[in-house]
Structure 1
Amino acid sequence: MGNLLTIFLLLLLGWFWLDSLRAREIAIGICQAACVQRDLQFLDQAVALHRLGLAWRAEGMRLRRVYRFDFSEEGLGRRNGYLVLRGLSLEELSFGLPDRTGDA
């Protein structure tokens, strides 16, 4: 019985590792596309996991990951943004910048 539990835990750990790699790749792709769309420079081509938790929704329980990333406007300075993935779907993306949709 102990061996079966050990195998199950190893399989669970392997699934979590692969799922985390896939989620990170998705987060990087979303950040790159969003930076291109807003004419920003995605710095370091990387995201960092900031928080990991569980989210309960109508479709069931999903892992909720919050990633931080750095970007730059016009190549000067460094700013922080974040992105939230629920499962492998985008829940929220924030650059902390005002929207460019209005005429100002």
Structure 2
Amino acid sequence: MWDDLILIALLLGAYLYWFNGQQVKEIALKAVRAHCSNLDVQMLDEYVALNSIRLVRDQTGKMGVRRAFLFEFSSTGNERYNGACIMLGRRVKSIHMEPYRFDEEF
């Protein structure tokens, strides 16, 4: 009896952890799309990949989950560049992009 309850609780906990992770990933994807659009570059593959996850303290000292997502983008359509979106909980902490080439149009 207790074994079944523990198993159900573990499965429920794993599902809730996965579901929360998917929601954070969607927030990161939307933020990266908007950032790329603002910089007039093309986000490639329309995908962000989880690179790392760890517990960190925020500015107020509270513990939170920090997730780093990687993505690729192109400025001219010929090259691929890497970028990273850092999430702290459900908030976008920062978006970093490699230096990239752009075509000047006058």
Normalised by the length of structure 2, the TM-score is 0.84
Match of 1:41 in 2: 42
CA-CA distance at 1:10 after TM superposition: 1.2
Match of 2:4 in 1: 3
Q: Deviations over 1:37-86 (max 9, x none)?
A: 00000000001111011112326222111000000012120000001001
Q: Secondary structure at the match of 2:47?
A: coil
CA distance in 2, matches of 1:97, 1:36: 16
2:87 maps to which of 85, 88, 93: 85
Relative distance call for 1:59 and 1:7 in structure 2 (3 A) is farther
How many residues end up aligned between the 2 structures?
A: 98
Q: Which runs of 5+ in 2 are unaligned?
A: 101-106
Q: Secondary structure at the match of 1:39?
A: coil
CA-CA distance at 1:97 after TM superposition: 2.7
Name the aligned partner's letter for residue 24 of structure 1: K
Superposed, 1:1-104 pairs within 5 Å as 1-57=2-58, 58=60, 60-97=62-99
CA distance in 2, matches of 1:87, 1:26: 10
Moved more, 50-59 or 78-87: 50-59
Normalised by the length of structure 1, the TM-score is 0.86
CA distance in 1, matches of 2:63, 2:12: 19
Q: Secondary structure at the match of 1:45?
A: strand
Q: Secondary structure at the match of 1:36?
A: helix
